[in-house]
Amino acid sequence: MTDAIDSVDTPTPRRNPKPEAKTIGGRELKPSTLMMGHGYDPVLSEGSLKAPIFLTSTFAFENSAAGKRHFEGITGKRPGGAEGLVYSRFNGPNQEILEDRLSIWDGAEDALSFSSGMTAITVMLLAFCAQGDVIVHSGPLYAATEGFVAKVLSKFGVTYVDFPAGASREEIDAVLEKAKAQAADQGGKVAMVYLESPANPTNALVDVEAVQASRDAILDADETPIAIDNTFLGPLWSRPLDHGADIVVYSLTKYVGGHSDLVAGSIAGAKKWMDPVRALRNTMGGIADPNTAWMLMRSLETVELRMERAGRNAEKVCAFLKDHPKVEGIGYLGFISDPSQQDIFDRLYTGAGSTFSLFVKGGEEEAFRFLDNLKIAKLAVSLGGTETLASCPAAMTHLSVPDERKAQLGITPNLVRISIGIEDPDDLIADFAQALDAV
């Protein structure tokens, strides 16, 4: 028998080297500048200014030792993932460039892309949980996330405890103590604190700084990461990793993709949190496909422009809707009435976003009449696209939520959720005005 050939330690050049230069003359370059070229070297692709789409299922190794070394990265024998390209369920040039660029927005060490926001969330949760563990989460969460924790993880002996978005430090402390005791009873650990802020669809904010302080006081910070769904205000107006979160989660389908033409998701954070999730993604699949990764790179070039414009539009539209006689109220982060929510907003956010709730005076009938009379805004679920969308959560996205829980969350039949796009704001106001007239 011959000895196995040791893998050689001379590193293969990365196909898409991470450029060191993120500064010029001491000036740190902004994400919007870096989105044009970071992580891509045209020399490696025939000078093509834009990265080509790499439609391949597998990658040729330069030699057998390199193949072995790359698999050591894939299987976790070497931390940090493979240093070369291997197989398209594990990695690919488009996904790697995308992940490098996503990391920049949140100031993260590493990022992972997925085929949907829900794939990102579910693979991440599975990677951190074992039988007997407890998940702590804020509420409400996006309905599918809440359902996965309550109905799917529970099948594997993972339980949960939740607290309402907006909870105080004392309330969060009490819930973490309860979770710790529950985990001890079950022979497990508190596997993750999972947050969503602003929450879907209420726009309630979670105080991530208070959650971090509480986690650090009660639990082991190396064992229980804090993850936060930043879909509604990230990456532009919210940087949760700067305020105590360990992992930031996105449905890239929304503002980051931004054109309502793709479905994708991501997580970002320190490598030590990304490595176990990457390992499970390697096993289960669920990485974004090359075409979607390419579309997201295009979208990232304009994400700041699009979000700024949508945010300014929403401000104008909400100012019009606020005092309209057919409007009962408006849930927009530019008009917060609760002082503790305003305090969280002032500390953690730099913009009010462009997704809000409009309470039409009346009930479902009036909400439907408003929706059915919109001419520019489209009647569709989702948010964060270039076009304005409107829907009725109680009758659509949250139809399956029990009435009692809906009432508790303030998801009333007259609630219309609106995501403002980048159209002309006065045209949008004219559209909302005529649709309200028809009510």
Residues engaged in binding ligand PLP (CB under 6 A): 116-118, 142, 196, 200, 229, 231, 251, 253, 263, 265
In this structure, are residues 176 and 219 in contact, taking their beta carbons and an 8 Å threshold? Answer: yes
Q: Which residues of 412-432 are buried (b: 16+ CB within 10 A; e: fewer)?
A: bbbbbbbbbbbbebeebbebb
CB-nearer residue toward ligand PLP: 16 or 116? 116
CB-nearer residue toward ligand PLP: 377 or 389? 389
Burial of 374 (0-12, 13-18, 19+ CB in 10 A): buried
81 half-sphere exposure, CB direction, 13 A CA radius:
27
Nearest partner of 238 among 246, 251, 228, judged by Cα: 228
The angle subtended at Cα 418 by Cα 368 and Cα 140, nearest 5°, is: 100
Q: How far is the CB of 285 from ligand PLP (least distance, A)?
A: 15
CB-nearer residue toward ligand PLP: 88 or 253? 253
Q: How far is the CB of 75 from ligand PLP (least distance, A)?
A: 28
- Residue number of the CB closest to ligand PLP reads 117
Q: How far is the CB of 115 from ligand PLP (least distance, A)?
A: 9
CB-nearer residue toward ligand PLP: 53 or 143? 143
Question: Alpha-carbon distance 390 to 380, whole Å?
Answer: 6
Taking the CA atoms of residue 311, residue 313, residue 318 and residue 321 in that order, the dihedral angle to the nearest 10 degrees is -160
Q: How far is CA 284 from CA 110, 122, 277, in A?
A: 20, 11, 10
Q: How far is the CB of 231 from ligand PLP (least distance, A)?
A: 4
Relative to beta strand 389-391, strand 378-379 is parallel
Task: Name all contacts of 172-178 with Cβ < 8 Å and 24+ positions apart.
Answer: 172/207, 172/210, 172/211, 172/214, 173/214, 173/217, 173/218, 175/136, 176/136, 176/214, 176/215, 176/218, 176/219, 177/218
Which letter does DSSP use for residue 198 in this model? Answer: S
Q: How far is the CB of 153 from ligand PLP (least distance, A)?
A: 16
CB-nearer residue toward ligand PLP: 134 or 263? 263
Question: Alpha-carbon distance 315 to 352, whole Å?
Answer: 8
CB-nearer residue toward ligand PLP: 200 or 354? 200
Tokens at 162, concatenated:
């939740």
Question: Alpha-carbon distance 34 to 292, whole Å?
Answer: 20
Q: How far is the CB of 112 from ligand PLP (least distance, A)?
A: 14
CB-nearer residue toward ligand PLP: 106 or 366? 106
Q: How far is the CB of 263 from ligand PLP (least distance, A)?
A: 5
In this structure, are residues 216 and 181 in contact, taking their beta carbons and an 8 Å threshold? Answer: no
CB-nearer residue toward ligand PLP: 258 or 265? 265
Q: How far is the CB of 142 from ligand PLP (least distance, A)?
A: 4
Q: Tokens 């009510």 sit at which residue?
A: 439
CB-nearer residue toward ligand PLP: 118 or 374? 118
In this structure, are residues 327 and 308 in contact, taking their beta carbons and an 8 Å threshold? Answer: no
Q: How far is the CB of 90 from ligand PLP (least distance, A)?
A: 21
Q: How far is the CB of 236 from ligand PLP (least distance, A)?
A: 15
Which letter does DSSP use for residue 58 in this model? Answer: B
CB-nearer residue toward ligand PLP: 124 or 436? 124
